[in-house]
Amino acid sequence: MVRLLPPGHARLERATSLGVEVGGAELNTAAGLVRLGHSAAWVSRLPDNPLGRLVHNRVWESGVEPRVQLAADGRCGLYFLEEGAAPRPSGIVYDRAGSSFAAQPADAFDWPRLLSGARWFHVTGITPALGDTPLSATRTALRVAKALGLTTSIDLNYRAKLWDADAAGRVMGELLHDCDVLLAGTEDAANLFGVTGADFAAVARQLCDRFGLRTVAGVKREAPGVWRNRFGGVGYHRGEFHETPWYEVEIVDRLGAGDAFAAGLIHGLLAGDFGRGLHVGAAFGALKHTVPGDLPTSDLVEVEAVLAGGGLRVQR
Amino acid sequence: MVRLLPPGHARLERATSLGVEVGGAELNTAAGLVRLGHSAAWVSRLPDNPLGRLVHNRVWESGVEPRVQLAADGRCGLYFLEEGAAPRPSGIVYDRAGSSFAAQPADAFDWPRLLSGARWFHVTGITPALGDTPLSATRTALRVAKALGLTTSIDLNYRAKLWDADAAGRVMGELLHDCDVLLAGTEDAANLFGVTGADFAAVARQLCDRFGLRTVAGVKREAPGVWRNRFGGVGYHRGEFHETPWYEVEIVDRLGAGDAFAAGLIHGLLAGDFGRGLHVGAAFGALKHTVPGDLPTSDLVEVEAVLAGGGLRVQR
Amino acid sequence: MVRLLPPGHARLERATSLGVEVGGAELNTAAGLVRLGHSAAWVSRLPDNPLGRLVHNRVWESGVEPRVQLAADGRCGLYFLEEGAAPRPSGIVYDRAGSSFAAQPADAFDWPRLLSGARWFHVTGITPALGDTPLSATRTALRVAKALGLTTSIDLNYRAKLWDADAAGRVMGELLHDCDVLLAGTEDAANLFGVTGADFAAVARQLCDRFGLRTVAGVKREAPGVWRNRFGGVGYHRGEFHETPWYEVEIVDRLGAGDAFAAGLIHGLLAGDFGRGLHVGAAFGALKHTVPGDLPTSDLVEVEAVLAGGGLRVQR
Amino acid sequence: MVRLLPPGHARLERATSLGVEVGGAELNTAAGLVRLGHSAAWVSRLPDNPLGRLVHNRVWESGVEPRVQLAADGRCGLYFLEEGAAPRPSGIVYDRAGSSFAAQPADAFDWPRLLSGARWFHVTGITPALGDTPLSATRTALRVAKALGLTTSIDLNYRAKLWDADAAGRVMGELLHDCDVLLAGTEDAANLFGVTGADFAAVARQLCDRFGLRTVAGVKREAPGVWRNRFGGVGYHRGEFHETPWYEVEIVDRLGAGDAFAAGLIHGLLAGDFGRGLHVGAAFGALKHTVPGDLPTSDLVEVEAVLAGGGLRVQR
Amino acid sequence: MVRLLPPGHARLERATSLGVEVGGAELNTAAGLVRLGHSAAWVSRLPDNPLGRLVHNRVWESGVEPRVQLAADGRCGLYFLEEGAAPRPSGIVYDRAGSSFAAQPADAFDWPRLLSGARWFHVTGITPALGDTPLSATRTALRVAKALGLTTSIDLNYRAKLWDADAAGRVMGELLHDCDVLLAGTEDAANLFGVTGADFAAVARQLCDRFGLRTVAGVKREAPGVWRNRFGGVGYHRGEFHETPWYEVEIVDRLGAGDAFAAGLIHGLLAGDFGRGLHVGAAFGALKHTVPGDLPTSDLVEVEAVLAGGGLRVQR
Amino acid sequence: MVRLLPPGHARLERATSLGVEVGGAELNTAAGLVRLGHSAAWVSRLPDNPLGRLVHNRVWESGVEPRVQLAADGRCGLYFLEEGAAPRPSGIVYDRAGSSFAAQPADAFDWPRLLSGARWFHVTGITPALGDTPLSATRTALRVAKALGLTTSIDLNYRAKLWDADAAGRVMGELLHDCDVLLAGTEDAANLFGVTGADFAAVARQLCDRFGLRTVAGVKREAPGVWRNRFGGVGYHRGEFHETPWYEVEIVDRLGAGDAFAAGLIHGLLAGDFGRGLHVGAAFGALKHTVPGDLPTSDLVEVEAVLAGGGLRVQR
């Protein structure tokens, strides 16, 4: 999607200009993986017009390979961001009805070919919420991925503006059958699956039991202000609870932190080290808050500096 | 609609920011009438979200009264403008599918109340092209306007991206039965009605004959460059052809010149003086080229200076 | 007035550009009332030049009706804002000498007509400080308002750069005879009237006694930084002291918060509910800190979210 | 003065930001002389506030020595520029009433000290138009300059918004008694002195006769557009008429070209070479059109390139 | 290289901000080929710091594959552009001494591997001018390219600031032994090789004779202004002279037009059609003038519209 | 040096524009002294191109006299700043290799003439690190300064990217023989001289003993965030330890605070009052954090307000 944001904390309804960024949950994670040293591709469908090409160019710029159809039908999904400040939260106006991706025909994507040679497939709960063919494509992609031996991960990412919790719970529960790694927060777990518990560990244990998972992870966040948060990661892996320290973050751009966390987690899991993944994910997600745009732009050097507790003095 | 334009002649597909303007054919004309000393209202339907309010606020700012429904359904129509330079023309990406206006239910507008007390009703060929209910609303509005004794005007404004010429010709031809003043160019006349001729006068005469009109007017334009044009007005009224001088225009913003011309024409006709209207329209349209945005921001003082052939020295 | 502010915390003396906003104490409150669902008009006198029209247009944009004289004499009042950062406070350079408003002739305003049909009249202590005719106009307006049965409110808003405290105390004390609701802080009460006390309640009680008022209200503020404050409202009504919680505010623009508070207070009092007014005023004032410009742009939805203690997570 | 200009050809009444430049007729000429290799000082009176310091800093930046009083009274003169485009000329809103300079007390400037060691004194017709004390200061400065043996020059620069032509003609005529070099156009000569003629030479000859001058010079300009002009210099010296070629100028900023011409002319005359001065002035004035702001920023290298007819290819 | 350009025609010495673009002669041509539907890679050496990554990212964004070494030594080449306006040409301040590319060690590039699978190798006269190792690398690359059966092209692109004409002539003459297609203008031909003639055809014929070439092509340009030029292509192929029409160009950004022409020419030659290449090159080069930045962003659709003489009306 | 900073916390590698500031350790201190009421000159060597003139102009603008050679050789030193946010510190990419200053020939500066009439000479440890001739020039300047009776100060300012600690320690130790006042932090003292201790006082005492100094001073800083610090000054003078209160600073621009501190310290010492210097320095340094750019722009009025504990309310 293309993100449009009035600069200077202006209200959308008084905007005289809008900054342009490109983002999207899966794309953000793919870009994060590139930053962490992996190669990654992003599958989507965009309109064959300047806006579609804008997204396409920016995906290339991020180092992610755009495996993208440029379609004659549909439009480019947009969202408008309005930055808040305490006591007013930031808000988003989604404008993605009728997107080329949502308008995809059945069998638009040749998944066996698209996934050939890959090690990991990642998708979020936003994609199947976009319509019946996107849901069907998600289902197929997960099945093909499993059949080809890829590891699969799903980030629940429930969006109440897209579908209701019952439908989401039913669909996501079904998709989890082809999922190895679940990214989820306790709130989504309660809303979608009715799973509640005293803490993340309790919830994650039930999710593992119910869906036959070995790994559930998510972020933790405290928000004393819109522009200053505390952030970290929590996870449950092979029956054990893990947790990172809290990071104090001065926020430049709040969006995409969870997707960056997912990239760090996958980075660790690709090396067979869940703990490493959790810590890299938390540091990478914390760092995402410090740069404008949806896509993470830190690298392992910066991640290691955070993990080592490096200070805040000017580097010169 | 909200217009989004990358500054500095940037290409849309490389845009990092977009300037925000508000415009629309009928709104532009209404704003022009306010500038020329009249009161005017604009009837529309907008989403009840920050983008809808953006349009609403800017309409107020222009001095036009927004008789606008803020609707729960639909989205805000957008268009993206990409400025060219010779030998590349400027281009527009329309993104108005699914707008709240197009999604209007039948009988959304109470025309007898909305038109009560008005002297003139103006609409363009874009509005009926937006869907069946917009067409039906246009038809009703014109009939109510005539029944209430208003003068009515239609600007053909054929947009090939919205409908084909056959459909447009059929519909516009029907709507012209309730029309007093037609704004049209020879190209649209040929495309929609198959009316051709040696020059504007020949075409206008046939249009008057076929549709029972007394008045047809339009703009004339020569484009040696994207940023330098020659501009003026032509008209056919009660059987006589009128023409203004050519104005050399240094273009700041090309859009809305025809709508400003319409405002000037109506200004003259409201005073019963077609010739005055044609000349004010041409000068007002020429002046529109010199200001950013879709809406005209000149006034009669500036119009008179142009008509008087005032020079180009700094006014101090 | 037109506000000119160098972006990026630049110092005025090194400014290369200035952002343009429009504001003014009474206008800010009027715009706040429009946001809270009321209709409001603003009475003023502006030069008939592009700067006067700039103010005029922006007043329309805010939804306030500009009952404004466009005058041939005088200039447009300006003020230059320079943003600070701890330990340096923000500063203002006023440049409003010779404004068209200050230059108003006697009887410039036909108050019986201007106030006809209104329910409330609000003015601040800045207006009578601008000169003898503005003072006279204020006095007349208050008397006419009372005669027509309007409720009247005065915000003391003492500006030491405009007049000395003795003169201000004398004048404002006299004007308070036609005032129903006083907005004041303890500092102004001490400076202008010599009224001191242990706390707001003690001061407010004395003000009520001396000036025959039933209602005195004001804001409370703690400023640990220039860009982070604590804010709330205090009031004394029919002999009882009221107080809102403190709100932690991340400041985007500090100006106009007191004027927004006044709008919220009037909103409540128009419904006969002082407590509601105090709480809406405090939330509305807190929200004003979060948007650029002098004018409040929140609405009751946002106010209710603050009153309900809604969190700071992105709304999506 | 501080110049405020909305970017992007925006209209002042819709401005959301204003670019800040510093200029003034005499200052522009002084800065031009510094660029051409001379030292120059500028005498003025500014308010002791951030705006006054803004002017002060920018004068330093230009290399001109600011011999400036920072005064407690008065304000900083401003002007707002609104750029036009054919067929609409650019316009200026002056806002300099009450400036610290206009508010100068009698004998504010110690001219013998200020002019000590200088070779040339230059003033324009704007300064004496600002009030009685500015006029008196101009008169004194010219007399002291002559007494100290300086060459003096006056640029008529008639501003109809400041005074009427009769008063201006009377005052300027008197001041010309202490003037060696007059810069004037035929229009001002007609308006102020009633001197008319077939061409510049005829007018200049009469001016020389009437005021006992040896040298009169001015610019010539044709304006087919607001942003494209033809420009050059004309002069009458010791009874002979001189003229430069026409330069085609693509205009970036129209203001200050005449002041730059004056700098070039003085540059030549300081070396005793009127013809050189006229040609340097014309080239320097033409070059001024190509840079933003009131102050010229070209140097002799660029002047020589223009005089040599250097082409327009990128210099690399 | 990174290009830094003060916006708004500001002079570099008064710049307060600089726009950032990425370009370079060979990169511009590669990006042009991608736009015309080919795949292309760019070989270079950049510092492993944020500036090097800036270039790297932008190359990806353009669709060109960056075959780039990120080196620990050297810096990122910069150039500062200052836009002129008639009568002042634009100017460039190069700041590329000590670049990582110039600091390349011998045998930095494995040309057989880098060129494997390619059909064409293109280089300009700027690269060998950067130092001994860049020259040596150029020589090797050309030889390897020929050995592998690639077609090779050289754009003379003589830069007097980098080396003197004698040295350039000697080196380029030697390199031409491995060159199939020469891009050159008559001025460079005269300066470097002493080849002069009545017109392009005469010069090109001699170049072909002397260096055993079949194809020489170049651009033609007339510059009545800095911002309006006439542009086209000329060529000599298998003994025949070819020429395109002149295109009137409104210039948005002058740089990179010759490199875009080269891309169009190669596009045609890759299809075995020199005439097509010349015409596509001229149209593509004309279009390059209309977009900001060094890299062409038009495509074949826009090229065809220019070739078909499409008009300048807004495309909607 | 010229500082280039992407606005809006953008990453350098994604920058589309860069803000331009001018700074440098000694220049910053000189500008601070001008702000505090002194006259100051800055000695340097700059390239005779637009970038060199940019620095030259800005030095003038700051009120510092540029005693600068405009040289034909060398380039203009640049540095790129990338702003961080917790947990990511800000970073700097220096690009000053090959600067005109570093390329100075032996005896480039005539120190006896340059220092004639001055009271104080200040230099930092950055200058001798730039090469052999800069070191030699520093050594000569210090000796000449002492011989002429000036007070001398050195700010250690160790930059690990320029030289290693051993070399720096050896050179700086030697230079300290001609130094009266040392500015240093405990970290540099340990790295360069191996001097460690329990606190600043212990370290400073040893530095005084080893180098025969009477005065050592420095800043103290705590960094809970990148954009919020605590700041103050510490000093050791004639055997006694001094310390200022901590100031909470909201940071607008972090760079140059130590140089501003040095200016305040010198201001006090010029009046013979070390304590005053330490407190003015700490307040002046705290204030530097609140303005953009390297150069301090506060004055004694603002310093006194901070020293008096003035609050953070808007000054109006």
pLDDT in tens, B124-139: 999 999 999 999 999 9
CA distance F292 to F284: 14
Q: What is the dihedral of CA B141, B145, B148, B151, to 10 degrees?
A: 170
Degrees, nearest 5: CA angle E42-E43-E46: 110
Under 8 Å CB-to-CB from F49, ≥6 apart: which residues? E93, F76
Which residues, in sequence order, are bridge partners of residue B236?
A: B216, B241
Distance from the C58 Cα atom to the nearest Cα atom in chain B, whole angstroms: 6
Instruction: Verify whether the Cβ–Cβ distance A224 to C248 is below 8 Å.
Output: yes
Within chain B, strands assigned E span 2-5, 17-22, 41-47, 65-71, 78-82, 91-95, 120-124, 151-155, 181-183, 215-222, 228-237, 240-243, 247-250
CA distance C32 to C261: 9
Identify all chain C residues contacting D7, using CB atoms and an 8 Å cutoff. Answer: 17
- pLDDT band for position B310 (cuts 50, 70, 90): confident
Neighbour subunits, C (≥3 Cβ pairs < 8 A): A, B, D, F
pLDDT in tens, C214-269: 999 999 999 999 999 999 999 999 999 999 999 999 999 999 999 999 999 999 99
Interface of chain A toward chain B, CB-CB under 8 angstroms: 4, 7, 11-20, 49-51, 53-54, 56-57, 75-76, 78, 80, 82, 93, 95, 97-98
3-state class of B219 per DSSP? strand
Q: How does the average pLDDT of chain E come out, rounded?
A: 97
Inter-chain contacts counted by CB atoms under 8 A, chains D and E: 74
Q: Is the pLDDT of residue D49 over 80?
A: yes
Instruction: Verify whether the Cβ–Cβ distance B13 to E297 is below 8 Å.
Output: yes
Instruction: Verify whether the Cβ–Cβ distance D225 to B312 is below 8 Å.
Output: yes
Phi then psi dihedrals of residue D145, to 5 deg? -60, -50
Radius of gyration of chain E, Cα coordinates, nearest whole angstrom: 19
Instruction: Verify whether the Cβ–Cβ distance E63 to A60 is below 8 Å.
Output: yes
β pairing state of A78-82 and A91-95: antiparallel
Nearest to C90 by CA among C10, C22, C26: C10
3-state class of B118 per DSSP? coil
Q: Is the pLDDT of residue B47 over 80?
A: yes
Identify all chain F residues contacting E12, using CB atoms and an 8 Å cutoff. Answer: 50-51, 54
3-state class of A11 per DSSP? coil
Instruction: Verify whether the Cβ–Cβ distance C57 to B58 is below 8 Å.
Output: no
Number of H helices and number of E strands within chain F? Answer: 10, 13
CA distance B171 to C107: 58
Determine the residue of chain D that is closest to E11 in CA distance. D291
Inter-chain contacts counted by CB atoms under 8 A, chains B and E: 74
pTM, to two decimals: 0.96
Element (H, E) at B164: none
Identify all chain E residues contacting D313, using CB atoms and an 8 Å cutoff. Answer: 89, 223
Residues of A noted as catalytic: 259
Identify all chain A residues contacting E34, using CB atoms and an 8 Å cutoff. Answer: none
Q: In this structure, are residues E265 and E217 in contact, taking their beta carbons and an 8 Å threshold?
A: yes
- Structure-block tokens of residue C59: 């007043």
The mean pLDDT of A165-183, rounded to a whole number, is 97
pLDDT in tens, D9-22: 999 999 999 999 99
Tell me what pLDDT residue D195 has. 97
Q: Is the pLDDT of residue B274 over 80?
A: yes
Determine the residue of chain C that is closest to A11 in CA distance. C291
Phi then psi dihedrals of residue E6, to 5 deg? -65, 130
Question: Which residue, chain included where needed, has tokens 């651009």?
Answer: E219
Identify all chain F residues contacting A297, using CB atoms and an 8 Å cutoff. Answer: 11, 13-14
Question: Which residue, chain included where needed, has tokens 């000395």?
Answer: C164
Identify all chain D residues contacting B289, using CB atoms and an 8 Å cutoff. Answer: 85
Amino acid at A108: A
DSSP secondary structure of B115-168? HTT-SEEEEETTGGGG-HHHHHHHHHHHHHHHHTT-EEEEE----TTTS-HHHH
Tell me what pLDDT residue B24 has. 96
The one-digit pLDDT tens for each residue of chain F (316 residues) are: 999 999 999 999 999 999 999 999 999 999 999 999 999 999 999 999 999 999 999 999 999 999 999 999 999 999 999 999 999 999 999 999 999 999 999 999 999 999 999 999 999 999 999 999 999 999 999 999 999 999 999 999 999 889 999 999 999 999 999 999 999 999 999 999 999 999 999 999 999 999 999 999 999 999 999 999 999 999 999 999 999 999 999 999 999 999 999 999 999 999 999 999 999 999 999 999 999 999 999 999 999 999 999 889 888 7
CA distance E298 to E291: 9
CA quadruple C295, C299, C304, C310: dihedral positive or negative?
Answer: negative
Determine the residue of chain E that is closest to D21 in CA distance. E14
Interface of chain A toward chain E, CB-CB under 8 angstroms: 57-58, 60-63
Could you give the C-alpha distances from A174 to A184, A196, E171, in angstroms and in order? 15, 19, 69
- pLDDT band for position C315 (cuts 50, 70, 90): confident
Which residues, in sequence order, are bridge partners of residue E182?
A: E154, E216
Tell me what pLDDT residue E161 has. 87
Instruction: Verify whether the Cβ–Cβ distance B10 to E315 is below 8 Å.
Output: no
Instruction: Verify whether the Cβ–Cβ distance B225 to E302 is below 8 Å.
Output: no
Tell me what pLDDT residue C191 has. 95
Question: Which residue, chain included where needed, has tokens 């994604």?
Answer: F14
Nearest to D56 by CA among D5, D121, D94, D2: D2
Residue among B7, B249, B297 minimizing CB distance to D87:
B249
CA distance F289 to F251: 5
3-state class of A297 per DSSP? coil
DSSP secondary structure of B23-59? --HHHHHHHHHHHTT---EEEEEEESSHHHHHHHHHH
CA distance C34 to B69: 17
Residue among F12, F18, F75 minimizing CB distance to E4:
F18
Instruction: Verify whether the Cβ–Cβ distance D58 to F61 is below 8 Å.
Output: yes
Q: Give ipTM to 2 decimals.
A: 0.94
pLDDT in tens, D132-181: 999 999 999 999 999 999 999 999 999 998 999 999 999 999 999 999 99
Determine the residue of chain D that is closest to E253 in CA distance. D314
CA distance E260 to F293: 39
- Structure-block tokens of residue E180: 């199939």
pLDDT in tens, E122-172: 999 999 999 999 999 999 999 999 999 999 999 999 999 899 999 999 999
CA distance A126 to A29: 14
Radius of gyration of chain C, Cα coordinates, nearest whole angstrom: 19
Residue among B228, B291, B313 minimizing CB distance to D11:
B291
Degrees, nearest 5: CA angle C22-C283-A289: 80
Identify all chain C residues contacting B63, using CB atoms and an 8 Å cutoff. Answer: 57, 60
CA distance A120 to E146: 42
CA distance C41 to C26: 10
pLDDT in tens, C267-314: 999 999 999 999 999 999 999 999 999 999 999 999 999 999 988 988
pLDDT in tens, F152-200: 999 999 998 899 999 999 999 999 999 999 999 999 999 999 999 999 9
Q: Choose, out of F88, F158, F220, F252, the residue to mutate when testing the contact with A (most A CBs < 10 Å).
A: F88
